[in-house]
Amino acid sequence: MKNILGMNKISWWDNAVIYQIYPRSLLDSNGDGIGDIPGIIEKLDYISGLGVDAIWISPFFKSPMKDFGYDISDYRVLDPIFGTLDDFDDLIKQAHNKKLKVIIDQVLSHTSDQHAWFQESCQSRDNPKADWYVWADAKDNGDVPNNWLAIFGGSAWQWDDSREQYFLHNFLTNQPDLNYHCDDLRRQILEEVEFWLKRGVDGFRLDALNFCYHDKELRDNPFKPLKERRGRGFSPDNPYAAQYHIHDSDQPEILGFLEDLRRLIDRYPGVMTMGEINTENSLKTIANYTAGNKRLNMAYSFELLVDDFSGAHIRETVEKQMAQMNGGTPCWAISNHDVVRVLSRWGGDNPDPEMAKMLTALLCSLPGTICSYQGEELGLTQADIAQEQLQDPFGIQFWPDFKGRDGCRTPMPWTARKVNAGFTEGTPWLPIPEDHLAHTVDKQEADPNSVLNSFKDFMAWRKQQKALLHGDIKFMDTDKGILAFTRRDEAHVIYACFNLTAQSKQITLPNHVTACRPSDSPLLSGNHVTLPPHGVFFGQGTA
């Protein structure tokens, strides 16, 4: 059987569901208020029971935690708050015993300013690591080298007295950018990656990958008109949204590095790479970064992580991405640790739990690899974090127009009657919202109609549907409140219909369609399907 890209060989990730773990917030095993690797091990039975195929763990490396692990000071050591390398090796073993693949988050575009490499690079302009970071002289008048901006606010350049030069940082000033135009740095980065390959990881999620290269001429970015300053996950009031970022990221030289990385990865059969892409044309960038089966295996963008919740937007995004794929696997995410939780982002202040069930079914019916963020299986909403409780530097910088990312990072609510919902016996690093106590795992496991049990049921059913796993996708023209498409393989066709609204909707299907699932049968009368608010229907026919 061929997969959706027409290739005979199907890899484990081609239709996998990947469960993203934010380790600070899954489970604390030692009472310090911060989740850790032993906590993940303790919850592997729960995660395996969801029916997912892999876990992706956000950074757990040694770090001063200015950006909560995305500022790495040593690529080969766990931060003590998360555990030890022995703990990680145990995690690999235990996960593999439960048939779960393990994907780790690698931050290759920048490090912490506390990394030994940067500390050496700062010392002079002629030391062995002098060119491992992006340094530039001030302009003749003392100004910064160009107009590039940092995502977290202000100029992307920071003055260093030791070298009497500026260094580039696309995020915090504590996160200096690595210089991928330096051959020695590129070789060293591949060695850091191979360290984890040798420990048995099954894949890498590559953070902020498009920032690895910058324009060597340091040309200014052009400015955007106000009407174009939306999308890409940035609010229009963030100055970063006011530029076309064509010189500070996504440079053509990165394709050669991705091919070097792929040659390394291919020496370890069964390992995958997944890039995080956020560029001016992310779908085109994904096509370039995955082209020819010689670069990344897959990448995802922010197109479905924005506020726009409409059938037209979802359809346009999927159709454009599928049309451009040339060797990689499509990858989809509607939530993660950087954006407002999807149920709040798309459902408003008082979202219907049925919407959470619908969104899981919709996401997991798309072709390719699926990423699901911890807590989505519970239908958790965005937490409202008071200003004085904020931890996220992004939110602290832009409060109150942007409240940061803490609201999607709060601890998992496990048990309603235990202190801190069973997350920790200490003081949690972020507060556990009162309204999350109504959605704890123990309560939902006892309710056959819960969001959690719906998630499990759908994952089990999906694994039996060859057309959903391997088939092509074709969207149907429908009422604007309905999203519908077919998934078709050589023998079967599935009609997937989703009501995106809070009102009942009706859709007409071909006469030969029957319901796929017993629960869907009452929705079908003749060839008419009546979808309740946020309802879902799956029909089947022959190809």
pLDDT-derived band of residue 9, with 50, 70 and 90 as boundaries? confident
Q: What is the pLDDT of residue 2?
A: 43
Catalytic residue among 36, 53, 177, 276: 276
Q: When comparing pLDDT for 140 and 3, which is higher?
A: 140
pLDDT-derived band of residue 3, with 50, 70 and 90 as boundaries? low
Q: Which structure tokens are listed for 3?
A: 């997969």
Residue 88 and residue 199 in contact, taking contact as beta carbons nearer than 8 Å: yes
Can you tell me the distance from the alpha carbon of 367 to that of 543, in angstroms, rounded to the nearest whole number? Answer: 17
Q: Three-state SS for 25?
A: helix
Can you tell me the distance from the alpha carbon of 102 to that of 231, in angstroms, rounded to the nearest whole number? Answer: 31
Residue 535 and residue 354 in contact, taking contact as beta carbons nearer than 8 Å: yes
207 is a catalytic site residue: yes
Q: What is the pLDDT of residue 4?
A: 53
**pTM (two decimals):** 0.96
- Nearest of 414, 393, 418 to residue 403 by alpha carbon: 393
Q: Which structure tokens are listed for 445?
A: 């496991």
Task: Give CATH for domain 17-109+181-214+249-460.
Answer: 3.20.20.80
> What is the DSSP code (8-state) at residue 503?
S
Q: What stretch(es) of the chain map to CATH 2.60.40.1180?
A: 472-542
Q: What stretch(es) of the chain map to CATH 3.20.20.80?
A: 17-109+181-214+249-460
> What is the DSSP code (8-state) at residue 205?
E
Q: Which structure tokens are listed for 10?
A: 């199907």
Task: Give CATH for domain 472-542.
Answer: 2.60.40.1180
CA torsion, points 127, 130, 136, 140, in degrees to nearest 10?
0
Q: What is the pLDDT of residue 1?
A: 33
Can you tell me the distance from the alpha carbon of 536 to that of 22, in angstroms, rounded to the nearest whole number? Answer: 29
Query: Which residues, in sequence order, are bridge partners of residue 498?
Result: 483, 536
Q: Three-state SS for 170?
A: coil
Residue 213 and residue 251 in contact, taking contact as beta carbons nearer than 8 Å: yes
Catalytic residue among 207, 338, 376, 489: 207
pLDDT-derived band of residue 229, with 50, 70 and 90 as boundaries? confident
